[in-house]
A and B are shown apart, each in its own frame.
Chain A
Amino acid sequence: MQVPSQWEVSFLAKSHLRLDDGMGPVLEVKWQQVRGVFSHKNHLKKLARHSRSVSGVNFQQTSLPEEWRQALRHFETQCFEWQGKKINGKGVILYCPASQQASLLQFYRQRGVDGSQVQLGVLESLQDQCEQDMIRWSLFGLNALIPKSFDLARYRFEPGHYQLEFKKPPECIDLERWAPADLLLKTSDLRHWFKHRCKQLTWCKLTAIREQNYHGRPALYGESGESNSLARRFWARLSRKSPNVWFRIWHLSSQNQILGVAARSSKTLDTSVLEKICAHYDMA
């Protein structure tokens, strides 16, 4: 899905996304894998019931606008509208029988503002399934490719530190970003900062940390030993720590940031995938 560049993520969860344009919410998307038969009618009823609980909101089912029909031709659709005191909404419930994925999209709009062209552009770019092995994650300047099979488990966007955690049990991949690097590394080098000052990725600090040059950038690299012996796995289970750990942290001086990719698993990690993630991980 492609949205105007001024729209920013204001809420993100495993199957829920909300975008703001600085004035308020503009788009909300929810999605879910459906098991069994999907009923638009039931979902509309749920939405109507929910809207009735909010005073002053008038919810109604509508027919799909003609201009949206072409953009949403691959889906079974059901359109709806609601009017609040200050803001209106127009949305659609989508179901793709091929992927058995149901989605709900709703555009928020201020009274008297026409955003039909922008809405159409968003709907035309909508895809509920990805043909490639890797999915691009792009938000708050962060750009990364993550294997399709991994789900977003946790995220943090705090001033100075971003973290996205993806999971495909028993594997877990962390994307990290720290800034501003010139302040963080003012009194120490990358290794010292990571070992003694950085409060995140503590589970990586147990591995042997090596300094390396990653595409001309100062970097730290660490990997747990190759041996995956029974005793080691047993100890890892007892101590509740993943025996296989891999990480790389590098200083992106052109952007004044420190980036990091870390992975842990009870099984052997596929380092080629992790190298690919590192190669495509960047900040705008």
Chain B
Amino acid sequence: MTAATTPAKSGVKSVPGAPLLELDNVKMHFKTKGDGFLARGTKWVQAVDGVNLTLAPGETLGLVGESGCGKSTTARLITRLLEPTGGEIRYQGVDIAHMNERRLRPYRREIQLIFQDPYSSLNPRHTVGTIVGTALRTHDMVDKKGELARVQELLELVGLNPEHYNRYPHEFSGGQRQRIGIARALAARPKIIVADEPVSALDVSIQAQVMNLLENLRKELGIAFVFIAHDLGVVRHFCDRVAVMYLGRVVEQGPRDSLYEAPQHPYTQALLSAVPDIAVVRGVPPKNRIRLVGDVPSPVDPPSGCRFRTRCWKAQDICATNDPALEEKAPAQHVACHFAAPPAESIIAEVV
């Protein structure tokens, strides 16, 4: 592996022909304190347990799933805010999973993160110019003279008034703050942006504005996105490919259209059928909703075999004993289920 790497000018190495980003059996197990003496009773929260994902340049990959499924942990692993307890995270073929901070520095520039909450992710005591300028300085993007000009350029790029660089975050609305967060992520000229619920804290009309902005940036700058959201409509709008996570694992992934029109994993089907659809009032006959029983099991002690089996209507004995692997069931559509099959009829009501 290392023999084939070619050092680039920026300090980022790459293996020719390797995908932009590759997660290979990545695991993140957090230790919980046991109630026994010394370390007895220590348990491990299996937040992410064997996730495989790939991302091509300029591609958008959506990560969906319910709270506690590990999608935010995955975002923090990709950006290396967390060090995984197992597996490899390869950026252009180079494993960055356990790299030390000094060697990681150039890679941090390439992969940036946008946070969910535009209120807590900006320092209230810093001006917008400082917030975006710090990102420029940290990554040595411009010399001191050019800093202000670049900050203003970035603010303009995300649709803010460049004259407002000396204002503080509280002077901006929620949507504008999210734009500041986006400008800060763009400062390093990243190849990948991991967006963790970037629009879910915003009002509907503002949400659409920010989504259009992200869409334009993606087209103009060719940045690849890992887009995390729980709103399936938003993900469908933005992403080329979608991966569905449940209890720390990817249960299904595939191209957007096949995943939404012919989901094969029972959990994906349940998730899609639970989305309230506005088309009902336009005379579209309402679809039956799959009701899942019970709650998501604890990631400390996940079910044996298939992790969804405790809530699955298709579950058989084999599901408890054999852990289904992600297999290609349709072109580019990978499903981890022993009984994967598209639904008898479309889950999403068709607008006629």
Q: A and B bound?
A: no
* Residues of chain A having any CB pair with chain B under 8 Å: none
* Residues of chain B having any CB pair with chain A under 8 Å: none
